[in-house]
Chains A and B, each alone.
Chain A
Amino acid sequence: MSDSSALIARLRRLAADTGATQAAATAGDAWLAQGLSRAHLHDIYAVEEADGPSGAGFGIAQALAARALPLLWLRTAAGERAQGRLHATGLIELGLPADSLMLGIVADESALLRAAADAARCTGLGTVLVESVGRAPGFDLTATRRLMLAAEASGVTVLSLRIGAEPTPSAAATRWGVAAVPSTALDQGPGEGAPGLPAFDVECLRRRGGPAGQRWRVEWDRDAKSFRQPPLSGAGLSLAADRAAARHPAAFVRRAR
């Protein structure tokens, strides 16, 4: 009797373990189709300053995949000068309808944080994308904790896009490093050899209560409103592609301390 109960307990443990692993695997890949978890704060780091547009594109794609609209984009006046202004036609071509996009331009970082905190409390919004350029020391544990709490209370997803910054401690649910990668060239028609769909090298740098360190090479499919992994690199995480990416200086990602 005691033998069988011990066995059952062992089996249960095993079952629980596999369950947990599977859950982790699905959670790790779920964002490809469903976007990042709603009602949370997520940090998105552009690996280098020149990867800013990729980080922004990744953030928008996440909001679209999660169907978390309307989107309020907050940025500083300095960011507007350095990165260029938003171009709605291009954003529409990523799949973001112009009538679900609002843009707020603030004077400085403290105003950015304040506006972000107010927006994160507004239950009518789907996503708040907070774009900061430079080190932005104001995005510390306290500020991110505040954003996370507001997001949890309201159900708004807060994406903190950091361009030209090193990862710093934060209360965010996940942290991502995004870089541009060469796209799959169009292979037919008059546009043969032209740059293809937006492609990103994405690494999960940190995940609260879950595994981190996975890396994907994905394309954004506007029509399906989901990410997909390019066919050439094979299903799942291709080691070859990853190695190629690892050799590539663009793929270097600084780990959080």
Chain B
Amino acid sequence: MFAGRGETPVAFVETVGQAVRLTATDLAAARSGLEVGLTLADARARVPELEVFPADPHADMDWLERLADGCTRYSPTIALMPPDALVIDIAGCIHAFEGERPLAADVEARMARRGILARHAFGDTPEIARALARYAGAPAPDEARAVKRLPVAALELDDDATVALARAGLKTVGDVMARPLAGIAARFGEDAVTAVRRLAGDDKAPVRARVAVAPVAVERRFAEPIARTEYALEVIEELAAEAAATLAERHQGGRRWEARLFRSDGHIQSLRIETGQPTRDVPLLMRLFAERIDSLADPLDPGYGYDLIRLDVALAERLDAAQLRLEGGAAAQDRVAQLVDQLSTRLGRGQVRRFAPRDSHIPEQAELMLPAAAEAPPGGWPQGQAGEPPLRPIYLFDPPQRIESVMAEVPDGPPHRFRWRRRVHEVARSEGPERIAGEWWRRHDVVIPTRDYYRVEDRRGRRFWIFRHGLHGEQEHPRWYLHGLFA
């Protein structure tokens, strides 16, 4: 819940049907007796000084995501429960806080700094924890009894079912649990039974963690935030060495690394690098991190300082010690791979590419450009015939470029003059047509014109690959395009 700005009550509104209704209120508004669902007119009548903002569920979701990112400082497993809840799986993660309560206090303190009023609860399952946090029941000595004392609203059935349960005299979750489940199912539907079983801890809804847990994660917490980027980099280097040692024990190397710098005010800076081959070479990793920092649009800003730095190896692959450079060829390949990693980190993964063939005879679709940092692409390229000049251009325009003023001696023949980029080219030699039909088996609804390709050379020796889009029978005035340039 948004704690508000102090005295002035704040509410968010949304147009529901004909009326503008409140969707959320702050503490001050709630104290003035405003409730979610009230129309804005009523609310204004009761609290004239009410400040109103339009609700923005997307912004809320975005905010929740960012809070979840922030909470990865407590545990790697975080699940979102929209619209307003986060579940942190703290099993095995409380050693840094000496217990659940200090951890919860830390969460609340951090949220409060951001102006957020958080309610927390602990539970054996995410549903129990959320129900306990969201609905106020009578105080109870333990978790099971606390759940039983929750109001039936905590089952989160639809409004009719909730009212029906209350009419049937079932006020708390415990009342519902005490009944035979078959009867509940008969009267209130299967959903009610599922909800009851979930709160009883018998049935667990699958929790979808936001990010996969990294195979190796190392972190450093600081009692006093560190405010210098150089120190932060030194810490990353130490962490990388630790992670590399762990990976070496498992005969693995990392391919994707992510360093996260948690600022004490809740901001997180994430630095991701990727290598083409698994590695545990710390100096190499540090060079890549330095490249990554160089390529940031905004420089690293430590602000009030980082109080937690974590290094995740998000993807690890087998890397045996014996694989380390035995012969010259492998060493040269390693060095090329390092260059590729370096350039990919600086320019972006997709900007350093290798070529791969693709099964299509449409020229612009017959090859793919894959990131060079990924696995080596397969072979299977068509090879030129001995003694033949190249039949395909070295540069290809995609989309093909329109050429104009095309003159051909016969309608179906090669052109003897055309204009491209404001220049007239007189064709001296030509070869063709090489007919490439459209992939008619892919589209049934439209006729894809056939292309007649010609390899032409103008009087000055420039060689072009041009095509007529459509046969004269197929189209009234087929257009001509320039598709590529030969060496």
Tell me the A residues contacting B by CB distance below 8 Å.
50-54, 56-58, 60-61, 70, 72, 83-94, 98-99, 101-107, 111, 115, 118-119, 122-125, 179-183, 185-186, 191, 193-199, 201, 220, 222-223, 248-250
Residue in B333, B351, B463 whose CB lies within 8 Å of A106 = B351
A-side interface mostly: mixed
Chain B residues with CB under 8 Å of A198's CB are 389-390, 463, 486-487
Cβ A92 vs Cβ B487 within 8 A? no
A194 to B387, CA, bound (A): 13
Is B391 interfacial (CB-CB < 8 Å)?
A: yes
Chain A residues with CB under 8 Å of B338's CB are 122
Chain A residues with CB under 8 Å of B384's CB are 92-93, 222
Q: With contacts A124-B335, A198-B486 known, is A182 near B392, CB below 8 A?
A: no
Tell me the B residues contacting A by CB distance below 8 Å.
331-336, 338-340, 342-343, 346-347, 351-357, 363, 366-367, 369, 372, 376-377, 379, 381-384, 386-387, 389-398, 423, 428-431, 455-457, 459-463, 484-487
Cβ B336 vs Cβ A89 within 8 A? no
- Min distance, Cβ B384 to any Cβ of chain A, angstroms: 4
Q: With contacts A118-B339, A122-B336, A122-B339 known, is A53 near B485, CB below 8 A?
A: yes
A52 to B382, CA, bound (A): 25
18 further A-B pairs in the complex, CB-CB below 8 A; given A53-B486, A86-B394: A53-B393, A53-B394, A53-B462, A84-B398, A85-B395, A88-B357, A89-B381, A90-B393, A93-B391, A102-B340, A103-B355, A107-B347, A124-B334, A182-B460, A186-B389, A195-B456, A198-B486, A223-B386
Cβ A87 vs Cβ B462 within 8 A? no
Cβ A195 vs Cβ B455 within 8 A? yes
> Considering only CB atoms, which chain B residue lies closest to A77 in the complex?
B351
Cβ B351 vs Cβ A181 within 8 A? no
Closest 3 pairs between A and B when the two form their complex, measured CB to CB: A57-B487, A194-B431, A124-B335
A172 to B211, CA, bound (A): 51
Cβ B339 vs Cβ A50 within 8 A? no
> Considering only CB atoms, which chain A residue lies closest to B425 in the complex?
A50
Cβ A56 vs Cβ B431 within 8 A? no
Chain A residues with CB under 8 Å of B366's CB are 89
Cβ A84 vs Cβ B351 within 8 A? no
Residue in B343, B396, B461, B484 whose CB lies within 8 Å of A118 = B343
> Considering only CB atoms, which chain B residue lies closest to A219 in the complex?
B389
A81 to B460, CA, bound (A): 24
Chain B residues with CB under 8 Å of A199's CB are 461
Chain B residues with CB under 8 Å of A122's CB are 335-336, 338-339
Cβ A115 vs Cβ B390 within 8 A? no
- Min distance, Cβ B206 to any Cβ of chain A, angstroms: 42
Cβ A87 vs Cβ B484 within 8 A? yes
A58 to B377, CA, bound (A): 27
Chain B residues with CB under 8 Å of A119's CB are 339, 343
Chain B residues with CB under 8 Å of A123's CB are 332, 335
Cβ A86 vs Cβ B351 within 8 A? no
Cβ B428 vs Cβ A87 within 8 A? no
A130 to B238, CA, bound (A): 37
- Min distance, Cβ A175 to any Cβ of chain B, angstroms: 20
13 contacts between A and B (CB under 8 A): A56-B395, A56-B487, A60-B394, A86-B394, A88-B355, A88-B381, A93-B384, A102-B352, A103-B353, A104-B347, A124-B339, A181-B461, A220-B487
Q: With contacts A90-B392, A92-B382 known, is A50 near B484, CB below 8 A?
A: no
> Considering only CB atoms, which chain B residue lies closest to A119 in the complex?
B339
> Considering only CB atoms, which chain B residue lies closest to A194 in the complex?
B431
> Considering only CB atoms, which chain B residue lies closest to A80 in the complex?
B395
Chain A residues with CB under 8 Å of B398's CB are 84-85
A107 to B347, CA, bound (A): 8
User: In this complex, which of A86, A99, A186, A194 has the most chain B Cβ atoms within 10 angstroms of its Cβ?
Assistant: A194
